[in-house]
Chains A and B, each alone.
Chain A
C-alpha cells in the first residue's frame, strides 16, 4: 500500500529536549516536505527536499533541521524545542512535476511544555 508514515503520532516533551519526528514514504517520490498546521494559519511549509541530499527552507524553518540521506526518509529534527513549536506536523511526498499531488502522513501532534 502506498503510504507516508510518520512517527510518533503524539508526543509531549519539555523545552530543550531534542526530538526527531521520522517520515518515510514507499512511493519512490523525489519530493518530500514538512508542514506545520496551527489554528487560523493553515499549513505552513517548514522544509522541503527535491531529492537526496537536496533540502531547502520553506516559510517557517527557524528551530528545525532536516536531512535527506535516503530517498524514502526525511526526518524532522527539533534540536531544542520551545513551546511555540507546539503544533500538528505533517510530512508529505510527491513527484516533482506541477501535477504532483502531495501524499500526506497522518500527522504528528507535538506538545512542548
Chain B
C-alpha cells in the first residue's frame, strides 16, 4: 500500500489566490513527522514545512500552512496569496519513528505540479 498519496497530479491557481495541495498518509506508528518540499523547474529540492504527529497546532511558515487532520491521516499544504514563483512540483513526505519497520526512511508521494496563472 502507498504510504503517501497525492491525488492531484496537476493544479492551476490564479495569482494571489490561496491553493490547497492534498496529501494523505498511512502509518500505524504513533510517532511520525510530515514534510513538504518544493521542486522548481531548476530541479533542487526545497524544504517548506514540517508537522509532527504529536504537535497540537498546525504548522505555519510564512505563506505556507499545513492543515493536519490526524484522524483522517491527511496533511494538506495550503499556500496563501499564490505568486508566480510558486509554480513548481510539490512533494509530501513522511518519516516514521526509529522503532518502526520503515527504519526511519523518509517516504515521498508522487507529487503535485502547481501552475500559477498571472
Contact = CB atoms under 8 A, between A and B. Distances in A.
A58 B105 contact: yes
B44 A99 contact: no
A98 B45 contact: no
A56 interface: yes
A99 B52 contact: yes
Nearest to B4: A42
Nearest to B54: A98
Contacts of B109: 42
A43 B4 CA distance: 11
B32 interface: yes
A35 B93 CA distance: 13
A62 interface: no
Interface in B73-110: 91, 93, 95-98, 103-110
A96 interface: yes
Contact of A43 (B43, B52, B91, B103): B91
B108 A42 contact: yes
Given A42-B108, A98-B31, A98-B52, A56 B96 contact: no
Prevailing SS type, chain A contact patch: strand
Given A42-B111, A98-B33, A98-B52, A104 B45 contact: yes
Nearest to B53: A98
A50 B9 CA distance: 32
A43 B108 contact: yes
Nearest to B94: A98
Interface of B: 6, 9, 31-33, 35, 37, 43-45, 47, 50, 52-53, 91, 93, 95-98, 103-111
Given A42-B109, A43-B108, 16 more contacts: A33-B106, A35-B108, A41-B110, A42-B111, A45-B105, A48-B104, A50-B103, A88-B43, A92-B106, A98-B97, A100-B33, A102-B93, A102-B106, A107-B43, A107-B44, A107-B45
